[in-house]
A = this chain, B = another copy of it.
Amino acid sequence: MLATEFKDAITAADRVLVQIRTAIVEGEIPAGTKISEPELARRYDLSRAPLREALARLERCHLIERTPNAGARVVKLSIDGLRSLYQLREELEGLACRLAAEHMTEQEIAEVRALLDQHLSTQRVREGESYYQEAGDVDFHYRVILGSKNPYLINILSDELYFLVRMYRVQLGMNGPRVSRAFDEHKAIINAIANRDGELADLLMRRHIAASKRNIEQQLLQQGTSHG
């Protein structure tokens, strides 16, 4: 997914990390599941040593929660969790926009624009398939985050928070008119960055994220009331 997650020297722990992480994000391993180290070790055909390394990293991005001597559970999706998470996202990606407006090169901006055009045409062809929207959106945000050029900010957003964000979006879906509006909002944001108007880019990004939050929030509420 992310352009170049590991340069070279991919270790077994890295492979199983990606596998389990994907399984959790996509819901193949359901939220709230108790994690058994021996079971997962058998399932992915490796020893517990690299598996535990992978679990440590999963804990880092809040996909599992560990308690000493008791084991780990896949995180549960909740409204409170969503709100806390998106509260931070608004702030951090807003900051990323301000910094991106300051630090992104003209070429980087041009690349993001090309990316958006490409996504737009892809969406026209594959209308309705939300996965492409998902991938495109993640990619856009990822580019802006990188554009901030702040290594700690990049690390927090793209390595720690973003998998949980994707988990909410993949499992609760992005639906309705938001799908098509997101593209326009992306365009507006990159325009502001291109104009070196960090303040506006910040504002637009916060609204973009807030709208996305409301969308998922509704899904959660509906799901919670219908079969609780």
Contacts and interface: CB of A to CB of B under 8 A. Distances in A.
B49 A150 contact: no
Interface string A4-43: 0010011100100000000000000000000000000000
Specify how many copies of this chain sit in the oligomer. Answer: 2
Interface residues of A, number: 30
Interface string A68-92: 1100000000000000110110011
B9 A84 contact: no
A153 interface: yes
A156 interface: yes
Contact of A152 (B57, B84, B95, B151): B84
B84 A150 contact: yes
Contact of A91 (B6, B68, B92, B160): B92
Contacts of A88: 95, 150, 152-153, 156
A148 B91 CA distance: 14
B6 A153 contact: no
A56 interface: yes
Interface string A179-203: 0000000000000000000000000
Contacts of A150: 84, 87-88
